[in-house]
Structure 1
Amino acid sequence: MSPSVRACMMACDIFNVPFEKVPIDLQAGEHLTPEFLKKNPLHQVPVMEDGDLTIHDSHAILPYLADTFGKDDSWYPKDVKKRALVNQKLIFNAVIVFARARNITYHIVLRGKTTIEQELIDDVTEAYGFIETFLSSTKYIAGDHITIADIAILAVMTSITQIVKLDAQ
């Protein structure tokens, strides 16, 4: 299952949002059907429908879930400075952590490769280092309270560490 889908499912569980999971077989090309492309022309998962609203990309879905269903604003602060830090880490996850992990999983899952180029491993290792740097000064990725950015990064890290092992140091 895609880390992005898992992040959204975790958020639904945290915010007690009932949802219907609709399996999409990427290897079979179900994300390329006309029906799916109407929901997401980028042909990616996840896609969330809430009434007449359709949102794709976990980094857009997570803030929506937190704002709409969160009991308070601790997961996605209303304070603009705190929210900016959460947004910064969501973007970091999208363009660095997830992108680098996807480079590896794409070659394994969708292209059937059995070896990973060292450069791709080095890219993921560098992303680990960035995360460690962020966590050296705060308890969580975007501050001293857990946020939706932690959910997003956790979902990717728990997937990619099955392929690229973390150094215990």
Structure 2
Amino acid sequence: MVKLTLYGLDASPPVRAVKLTLAALNLPYEYVNVNIVAREQLSSAYLEKNPQHTVPTLEDDGHFIWDSHAIIAYLVSKYADTDSLYPKDLLQRAVVDQRMHFESGVVFANGIRSIIKPVVFFGQSKMPKERYDAIIEIYDFVETFLKGQDYIAGNQMTIADFSLVSSVASLEAFVDLDVVKYPRISGWIKRLEQLPYYEEANGKGARQLVAIVKQTNFTFET
């Protein structure tokens, strides 16, 4: 019997990417909330599981894996009945991997973490315009990636969609998505919202993050 435990919090986009994957695979798991404001991730018990003290962390039969991209690739590789979510074809897989690297290195690093850390944790009230420009650039890239296809890495849903939508849906905490300028992104998000597990796995957590950030009333410099 599968024994999985996911450590995280719903407001975290990477945690939500894992929740989407677990739901798509219909895998049961225990969910342990990690209160990062109370610095539970720095407890000795958590550091034994993940010395990098990040969320999410997945426990599978006493083994610990962190980084959402590593986790979702692992889950599909081990537990999926087919390779549709993470194709074995090397060219198709390379596109999926590229999109996930784009999420980690550009969307999350430049678009989310670079604002969340100073605004939410250090109370910074103004952010440089370059941070705004970085989010617009992300939207532009994602809109381009979706040209001529329904999903972020092609015409079938993959774990790259779970990774990207968890972060792209969270960007509205900083810059609202212009549905006229970005119709492909809007359509893609709506397509994923039709998944029976989307709201529980990603929708409510994305709204939590948006609410947390909006409460700070931060602004971008002009």
Q: TM-score, normalised by structure 2?
A: 0.72
Q: 1:42-80 CA deviation, whole Å, 9 max, x = no partner?
A: 111000000132100001001011112222111001111
More strand per residue: 2
Which of 77, 80, 86 is the matching residue for 1:70?
80
Show the counterpart of 1:167.
Answer: 178
Show the counterpart of 1:36.
Answer: 46
In 2: Cα distance, 1:14 partner to 1:110 partner? 33
- Matching of residue 110 in structure 1 with residue 89 in structure 2: no
In 1: Cα distance, 2:159 partner to 2:73 partner? 7
Show the counterpart of 1:127.
Answer: 138
- Matching of residue 146 in structure 1 with residue 193 in structure 2: no
In 1: Cα distance, 2:135 partner to 2:57 partner? 26
Superposition deviation, residue 29 in structure 1: 1.0
Question: Alignment length, in residue pairs?
Answer: 169
- Matching of residue 12 in structure 1 with residue 29 in structure 2: no
Greater alpha carbon shift after TM alignment, 151-160 vs 138-147: 138-147
In 2: Cα distance, 1:25 partner to 1:112 partner? 18
Unaligned segments of structure 2, at least 5 residues: 1-10, 182-222
Unaligned segments of structure 1, at least 5 residues: none
Identity %: 40
Show the counterpart of 1:79.
Answer: 89
Q: TM-score, normalised by structure 1?
A: 0.94
Q: 1:93-119 CA deviation, whole Å, 9 max, x = no partner?
A: 110111121111222221223333321
**Partner amino acid for 1:117?**
P
- Matching of residue 48 in structure 1 with residue 58 in structure 2: yes
**Partner amino acid for 1:7?**
A
Superposition deviation, residue 34 in structure 1: 1.4
In 2: Cα distance, 1:73 partner to 1:12 partner? 15
Show the counterpart of 1:93.
Answer: 103
